[in-house]
């Protein structure tokens, strides 16, 4: 079975631009979460979506937004890019959206570089 | 405020010996604790988890211990293998959400 897939794998943007990152969850998984990982740190929670509804939001500015589609895939959008947005963006999916006994499974991420 | 802490940025262990990775947390509301392993250029891979109602969970070479009174958990890998060399992240969550709070990671190197 295919795991969590993310696209693109790498992306280079300049300050002020907008970016859209995409994620397809594991088949049957209804929950998708997004994380940002900067060098030397653990992943930081950005959003969780379950059944197309936002279930949780981390401490990120309104420039960050996301949505989930009827097929449970998801997009993360970031507007007005800043140098500090350079990071690895990870998508994770899980079956039911809560509980550590149904752990999240991660994709390999999108490496975003801002020039 | 770092709710999940991994105070050892790196650990070096000889092949065949035990690797012990430690993690501390501050929020007593966490219900689940998880360990993920991450290789370069790959996403984190789930290893093992433990519910707050247990104090030990074992899966093959991996065992996680939870000490709720000390707000401390540890991951034991026995025996350690060179393929275990990776960055290990401790994470915590509550049962009502998928939101994971991660530590900063410990880089494990297993040498022959």
| pLDDT (tens digit per residue) in A8-53 | 999 999 999 999 999 999 999 999 999 999 988 999 999 999 999 9
| Residue A77 · residue A109 · CB < 8 Å | no
- Nearest-angstrom CA–CA distance, B8 and B4: 13
CA B20 to chain centre: 9
The mean of the pLDDT values for chain A is 93
Splitting chain B (112 residues) into consecutive groups of 10 residues, what average pLDDT does each group show?
91 98 94 94 93 96 97 98 97 84 97 94
Beta carbons of B97 and A97 less than 8 Å apart: yes
- Asked if pLDDT for residue A1 goes beyond 70, the answer is no
Q: Residue A99's pLDDT is what?
A: 62
- What residues in chain B have their Cβ under 8 A from chain A's Cβ atoms? 4, 31-34, 36, 41-46, 49-51, 89, 91, 93, 95-105
pLDDT of A38 reads 94
With CB atoms and an 8 Å threshold, state whether B43 touches A104: no
Of B4, B34, B45, which is closest to A100 when you measure between CB atoms?
Answer: B34
Task: Give the mean model confidence (pLDDT) for residues A68-81.
Answer: 97
The nearest alpha carbon in chain A to B51 belongs to A100
A23: three-class secondary structure by DSSP = strand
**Minimal C-alpha gap between B93 and chain A (Å):** 7
Contacts of A101 in chain B (CB under 8 A): 32, 49, 51
pLDDT at position A2 is 79
pLDDT band at A70 (very low <50, low <70, confident <90, very high): very high
3-state secondary structure chain B: CCCEECCCCEEEEECCCCEEEEEEECCCCCCEEEEEEECCCCCCEEEEEEECCCCEEEECCEEEEEECCCCEEEEEECCCCHHHCEEEEEEEECCCCCCCEECCCEEEEEEC
Give pLDDT, residue A60.
97
Residues 6+ apart with CB under 8 A from A62: none
pLDDT value of position B2: 81
Q: What phi and psi values does residue B84 have, to the nearest 5 degrees?
A: -80, -10
Decide if pLDDT at A67 tops 80: yes
Question: Sign of torsion, CA B102 B6 A112 B49?
Answer: negative
């Amino acid at each position: 079975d295919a795991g969590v897939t993310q696209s693109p794998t790498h992306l280079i943007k300049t300050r002020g631009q907008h970016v859209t990152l995409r994620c397809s969850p594991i088949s049957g998984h209804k929950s998708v979460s997004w994380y940002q990982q900067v060098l030397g740190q653990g992943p930081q929670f950005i959003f969780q979506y379950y059944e197309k509804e936002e279930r949780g939001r981390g401490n990120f500015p309104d420039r960050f937004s996301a949505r989930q589609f009827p097929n449970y895939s998801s997009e993360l959008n970031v507007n007005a890019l800043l140098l500090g947005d350079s990071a690895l963006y990870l998508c994770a999916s899980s079956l039911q959206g809560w509980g550590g006994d149904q752990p999240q499974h991660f994709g390999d991420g999108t490496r975003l570089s801002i020039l | 405020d770092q709710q999940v802490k991994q105070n050892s940025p790196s650990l070096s262990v000889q092949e065949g010996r035990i690797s012990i990775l430690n993690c501390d947390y501050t929020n007593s509301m966490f219900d689940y604790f998880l360990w993920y392993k991450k290789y370069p250029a790959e996403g984190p891979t789930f290893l093992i988890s433990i519910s707050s109602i247990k104090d030990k969970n074992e899966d093959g070479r991996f065992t996680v211990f939870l000490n709720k009174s000390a707000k401390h958990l540890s991951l034991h890998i026995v025996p350690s293998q060179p393929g275990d060399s990776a960055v290990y992240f401790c994470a915590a969550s509550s049962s009502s959400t998928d939101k994971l709070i991660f530590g900063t990671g410990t880089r494990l190197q297993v040498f022959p």
